[in-house]
Amino acid sequence: MLSLLFSAVFIAGSAVFTTSAYSIRENPIFISSIAIAVPMIAYGSFDYIEIQRIYKAERKLPDLLRDLSNYTSFGIPLSEAFMRIGMNDYGILTGGVRRVSSLVTAGVGFEKAVKELGSGVKSSKIAMVSKILQKSNESGSNTSDVIWILSEFSTRAELLRGSRIGDMKNYNLVMIISFAVFLFVILFLDVRFLQVMFEHSIATGSFIAGNLSSSTIENAFSVGVIVQAVAIGMISGVLRDVRITSGLLLSGILVAVTTFIFSVAGVF
């Protein structure tokens, strides 16, 4: 909703401009690029903040599970273990832990209360842990061992994800550098090469000048760069955490930077 509102305000503001440089009829690529970049940056920023909250919550899962395992190893039921750890600090998970503890204290069944562990955090991993704790409590056997194994698995999963994110940063850097080189080449073609080529074509009456205009080729190159910027961001999101939306912020930034550079250079 914030993205749509921000986009609507920008589009309404852009209607104020009367010069041909900001007219969608005279310069559709410029306006379209801005209209693409703004919602991408807005939604991408919101998605980035949300996914970071989820990652921070999931990084606290091993600590929570280890504490539960330590209590249940002495024969303490899971419901009472949650009551004992209710005042511990687990970062973003703290609210969910205290909610489970409060519900258990109020007499709510543990199987129902543990579903609130991930309240406020839309994490499939936390939801899975809640179900495992629920089933483990129902079975009543080897609860401590099950929770300890789950804790070790969560720890290794977090280490693996941290390593993968670190590796993907290098790939993202390579893609951004390659895009910068591509942008520089297209900018040089638009600003210098095409101008000289068409002046020579007009002077010699060659095929290019008679069939294509300089602006047509420039527009084709500009659209290609915009598409490349969007694609790089989406690919980076898929490589990082298998989510296209994770790359929208990078796509929007690349489109905005490209539009700014082309505007300053006089391409738009």
**Domain residues of the chain, as ranges?**
2-57+161-265, 63-141
Task: Provide the residue type at 26 as one letter.
Answer: E
Model-wide pTM > 0.85: no
Q: Please state, in angstroms and rounded to a whole number, the distance separating the CA atoms of residues 189 and 203.
A: 19
Which residues 6+ apart lie within 8 Å of 174 measured at CB? none
- Asked if 96 contacts 117 with a C-beta cutoff of 8 angstroms, the reply is yes
Task: Provide the residue type at 73 as one letter.
Answer: S
Q: What are the structure tokens assigned to 195, written together?
A: 């101008």
Mean pLDDT of 114-126: 82
Burial class of residue 203 (count of CB atoms within 10 Å of its CB; 0-12, 13-18, 19+) = exposed
Q: What are the structure tokens assigned to 79, written together?
A: 């419901």
> 20: pLDDT confidence band, cut at 50, 70 and 90?
very low
Helix (H) or strand (E) holding 101: helix 94-105
Q: Please state, in angstroms and rounded to a whole number, the distance separating the CA atoms of residues 170 and 162.
A: 13
Q: Which tens digits make up the pLDDT trace of 92-116?
A: 888 888 888 888 888 888 888 888 8
Higher-pLDDT residue of 142 and 214 is 142
Mean pLDDT of 224-247: 86
